[in-house]
Structure 1
Amino acid sequence: MNPAQKVRRSPEGGYARGDETRQRIIEAAIQLFGEHGFEGASTREIAACAGVNAPALQYYFENKEGVYRACVEALADDAWRTFGPAIEHARAVVRENAATEVLIDAFIRIQEAMADGAFAKASKPGRRMFFAREQAGYEPESATQILACRIRQPLNEASAALVARICGLASDDPVTQIRTFSLHGQLVVFHLAHRSTLSVLGWKSMDAEKAEQLKSTVRDQTRILLEHWSRERDARHVKDAKGAKAASKPPRSRKQARGDDDGN
């Protein structure tokens, strides 16, 4: 081998380093976007936090909005790894017309995945604030579109389908939608109002034991409500069946009516 000739590194090594740098930029950007918002975080600050020079951001993402979009895509990928199995399971039990108890378990499984995702990230305030700012409508609309298409829509549709079957209503019925959002809201409030949660409960942090206490309480409340709504559904079906049976009886003639009166 000619000693003057440089030994080229394998493409795999180059790709790995590039991916690592890109991921480091994304993690730094999520933290700074969460702390300062899209307008408040500068590409120079993101580059410094990631330990790269400013041109590296342009090389990987073109501009600040490209960095932000990459952050949202990365968060969506992470969320789907958490929620995806529970959503697919929910779709399967709805297709199979499973028993009520199985439907309830499937809904609680979605909530468990939501809780695991939320409480696991409670120690990462940048991520929590990133989502809070996006939910408040302060950030680029592209973020909302990506998250809606990849995570929120599948999650909401699967959840509403379960609640609809349990309640005996249509998925797009306003009551179904309100019930679905209110059930999930039990967890969302602890995630977004993290500081208030710790203050009210007198906790310094959200460790695994405290997270399990929250999950257990919400799980019990959710099961009680879903079982109650399923009993309402069954009672409504019984009432409708009785009404249909009564309506199917032939009308009584005047002669039959007079005979009943004479017998009395």
Structure 2
Amino acid sequence: MNETRRLRRPAEGGYARGDETRRRIIEAAIELFGEKGFTAASTREIAALAGVNAPALQYYFENKEGVFRACAESMADDVWTTFAPVVESAQATLETHDDVDALVDAFIAIQDALAERMLHAPKTSSQKLFFMREQSGHEPQIGSEILEARVRRPLNQVSARLVAKISGSAPDDPVTLIRMVSLYGQLMLFHIAPRSALSILGWSEIDAEKEVLLRSTVREQTRALLRMWHSEGAALAASPDGGAAPRRRTSTRRTG
């Protein structure tokens, strides 16, 4: 897909009105891209839903690819407002602290922000569908590239660095990354497959009391696992070979 040109904006006093028009087009496009997908949603439908004419859409976004890019950028910016403070705080902790408690607290703060985003951030069904379609890999690659660059990569990088420093491993070690993903997976199940998760618990919804239980349980498990990995890493570093030996998988297969 060709790179779209920089979006045009009205000059002088037209900024406020132009921004409002642009916002309406993006909201309409997210709804239609979510419901129909990029290929099936037409620029004419997007313009009609936004209450503008087709030339206005072209004026602000050049073409449908430009609209899709703007949708991904808007959603990435919205998501990043939740994570920016805790990511910046975690980066500062990594630079200034070696204390395991401070590092664990920094990771849990990111995890809490994730829970807050999943449980309380306003999301329409169209926004959820937009993300689902993007994750399926059938939508334009530029959407994933924007979300990766603006949200996922910085969030995952700082999280991997925290797990690595706590456990005495490398941030790009597959074990480190699997551990990071597994810690976040405790919450992601309630976001990706909420019906199944609630069914297992016998819950119809996550009310305030159940949310406290969910979040406190995840925090306790996360803290326990991170401390355990820290202890294992410290023991490995103190071993005669200084932790130089590669990890070995313990086999339970019986021989003979």
Coarse TM-score class (shorter-chain normalised):
0.7 to 0.9
Q: Which residue of 1 aligns with 2:150?
A: 150
Cα contact 1:122–1:128 (8 A) shared by 2 = no
Counterpart of 2:3 in structure 1 is none
Identity, % of aligned positions? 58
Whether contact under 8 Å (2:115, 2:215) holds in the other structure is yes
**Mapped contact 1:166–1:226 kept (Cα < 8 A):** yes
Equivalent residue, structure 2, for 1:127: 127
Q: Where does residue 95 of structure 2 map in the other structure? A: 95
Match in the other structure for 1:58: 58
Change (3 A) 1:122 1:208: farther
1:200 Cα deviation after fit: 4.5
Aligned to 1:5: none
Q: Counterparts of 1:10-49 in structure 2 under 5 Å?
A: 11-12=12-13, 14-49=14-49
Q: Distance in 1 between matches of 2:47 and 2:202?
A: 38
Does the CA contact (< 8 Å) of 1:166 and 1:229 recur in 2?
Answer: yes
Alpha-carbon deviation of 1:211?
Answer: 4.2
Q: Please identify the structure whose Cα radius of gyration is greater.
A: 1
What's the counterpart of residue 112 of structure 1? Answer: 112
Change beyond 3 A, Cα 1:141–1:124: same
Partner Cα separation in structure 2 for residue 100 and residue 94 of structure 1: 10
* Shift of residue 50, structure 1, vs aligned partner: 1.9
Secondary structure, aligned partner of 1:78 = helix
Distance 1:58 1:205 in 2: 43
Distance in 2 (alpha carbons) for counterparts of 1:73 and 1:211 = 30
Deviations 1:89-119 (Å, cap 9, x if unpaired)? 1111111133101101100111111222222
Alignment of 1:226-245 (within 5 A): 226-240=226-240
Match of 1:83 in 2: 83
TM-score, scaled relative to structure 1: 0.80
Q: Report if aligned partners of 2:236, 2:242 keep a CA contact under 8 Å in 1.
A: no
1:186 shift after superposition: 2.1
- Are the equivalent residues in 1 in contact too, given 2:237–2:243 (CA < 8 A)? no
Matching residue of 1:137: 137
Q: Which has the higher helix share?
A: 1
Whether contact under 8 Å (1:168, 1:233) holds in the other structure is yes
Counterpart code for 1:185: G
Deviations 1:153-197 (A, max 9, x none): 111110000000111101111100111111112222322224444
Equivalences, count:
234
SS of 1:39's equivalent?
A: coil
Match of residue 188 from structure 2? 188
* Equivalent-residue separation in structure 2 for 1:188 and 1:159 (angstroms): 15
Amino acid in structure 2 at the alignment position of 1:115: A
- SS of the residue corresponding to residue 37 of structure 2 reads helix
Does structure 1 conserve the Cα–Cα contact (< 8 Å) formed by 2:236 and 2:243? no
Change over 3 Å in CA distance of 1:234–1:243 after alignment to 2:
closer
**Match of 1:103, as an amino acid?**
L
Judging changes above 3 Å, is the alpha-carbon distance between structure 1 residues 121 and 61 closer, same or farther for their aligned structure 2 residues? same
8 Å Cα contact 1:132/1:192 also seen in 2: no
Q: Who is 2:72 aligned against?
A: 72
| Separation of aligned partners in 2, 1:121 and 1:169 | 34
Partner of 1:4: none
Counterpart-to-counterpart distance in 2, 1:22 and 1:73:
13
Compared CA separation, residues 49 and 207, structure 1 to 2 (3 A): farther
